[in-house]
Amino acid sequence: MTFWDSPQKGGNAFNAKPADSSYFTALTDTGASWVRLTFSKWKGEGRDFLIGDADDYQGLVPEDLTILRHQLDAAQAAGLKVVIVPLTLPGGRWTQHNGGSYDDRIWSDPDYQQQAIRFWANLAVALKDHEAVAGYNIVNEPAPEKTGGPEENASDQDLRAWQAGQDGGLRDLRDFYDRTIAAIRAVDPVTPVMVDAGWYANPRSLSAWPAPLADDRVLYAFHMYEPYAATSAPNMRRDQPLRYPGVRTDYAGGELTWDRAAVTAHIETAFDWAEGQGLPATRIVASEFGCMRRWPDCGAYLGDVLDAIDARSAHWAFYAFREDEWEGMDYELPSSMPPGRFYWLSEEGRADELPRDGALMDILKERMQ
C-alpha cells in the first residue's frame, strides 16, 4: 500500500488490442506513475479474453494470460505501476460485447457471483508476484441498481435506503466485494484492491455505503463525467452543444446548474464520505474522468475537475491515453482535428502519423509533472 500513500497520477489504457512497449513509454513520458489497464477488449482464445466464456467460467485461459503478462512486463519496463480492471466478469459481460444490453446476471444469480469470485482468486494466484501490479480493480463501473433500484440521480436519502435494503443480498455491492476480497486474500494477502462505487462508479453511490469494506488494503474509486449530458459524445451531435459552465441537469432528486462549485461539490462527496469513515484522502481514487476533446469547454472542465481532486491530494487517472479504436477523449489530438482523420489513418496502419500536439494534454501533463 505504500505506493498509494502519496498522490499517484496516471491514465487509462482501454485499448482494443494489446499495446507495444512504446505505448507505455509514451505514457510515462507524460509524467504518469500508473496505468489502469483493461484486457477485456482484446481478442482471445475464447469469446471473452482471459475468462474464456462469461456464460460459463471454467478457468483462466493460459494463452491469454501470457499476453496479459507481457503487457505487465512492458509497463514495468517503462516504470509504470498497473491496476488491472476487467470490463467483463462471469455473468456480467460488458454491454458493448453483449449486443448493447446490460448483463444483470451477476447481480441476480448467485452462481455467477461465485464464478466471478473464483476468477479473481485464480487471477490473484497468477499475478500476485508481478512487480508491476499495484492493484486489482474488481470490476469497472458496476451497476447493481440498474435493474429494480433507484435512479442514478435519485435523492441521497433514496440511495441510502436502497443500499440498506440490499444488505447481504445479491445486489449488495459491498457484500460482493467483501467476499471477492476474502477469496483474493486467501492466496494474496498483500496486493491492494480497488473498488468502484455503484451506478457506474458514481461518488454519490459510494456515499450511500454505511461503512468501508472489511479489508484494510482497499482503495475506493469513483468516475467523473458529470454533467454527462455535456461531457459525452451525444452532446457533440447537437446543433448547439450544451455548454459549461451553465448546463442544467437532473441531480439528487432535483436539478443542478453545473459550474466549478457544482463540480467540486460532486467530487467532494467521495472525500467527505471517506473522512466520515476515518479514511485518508489517499484511499480515494478518481480512476476515470474526461470530456470530449472537441467540446469547446473541455479545457475549462478538466481544469475544474483536477483542481477539486488535487485540493485533496488524491490519486487520479484520466480517460484515456491513446485509445486505439476511439478518438473522443484522446487529449493529445488537437481539438481541430476531425474524427474522420483518426479513423482513416488508423485503418491505413498509419496511426503514428497522427498529430499529438493537443493543448488539452498540456493541462494534464502540467499536473502530472
pLDDT, tens digit (0-9, with 9 covering 90-100), for 241-274: 999 999 999 999 999 999 999 999 999 999 999 9
The count of C-alpha atoms lying within 13 angstroms of the C-alpha of 176, restricted to the half-sphere facing its C-beta, is 30
Distance CA 52, CA 66 (A): 14
Confidence band of 288 (pLDDT split at 50, 70, 90): very high
DSSP structure class, residue 3: G
Distance CA 164, CA 174 (A): 11
Share of the chain above pLDDT 90, in %: 99
State yes or no: pLDDT of 133 exceeds 90. yes
Confidence band of 235 (pLDDT split at 50, 70, 90): very high
Q: What is the mean pLDDT of residues 6-19?
A: 98
Single pTM value for the model = 0.98
Q: What is the pLDDT of residues 52-80, one digit of tens each?
A: 999 999 999 999 999 999 999 999 999 99
State yes or no: pLDDT of 181 exceeds 90. yes
Share of the chain above pLDDT 70, in %: 100
State yes or no: pLDDT of 226 exceeds 90. yes
Q: 176-203 burial string, b = 16+ CB within 10 Å, else e? A: bbebbbebbbeebeebbbbbbbbbbbbb
Distance CA 70, CA 78 (A): 12
Q: What nine digits make up the cell of 191? A: 496486493
The per-residue pLDDT for 148 is: 86
With beta carbons less than 8 A apart as the criterion, state whether 192 and 218 touch: yes
With beta carbons less than 8 A apart as the criterion, state whether 84 and 39 touch: yes
Average pLDDT, the chain: 98
- The closest of 301, 297, 270 to 283, measured between CA atoms, is 270
Q: What is the mean pLDDT of residues 29-39?
A: 98
Place of cell 489517499: 282
Secondary structure (3-state) at 216: coil
With beta carbons less than 8 A apart as the criterion, state whether 44 and 64 touch: yes
Place of cell 463540480: 263
Q: What is the mean pLDDT of residues 88-111?
A: 98
State yes or no: pLDDT of 369 exceeds 90. no
With beta carbons less than 8 A apart as the criterion, state whether 364 and 331 touch: yes
The per-residue pLDDT for 95 is: 98
What is the chain's Cα-based Rg?
20
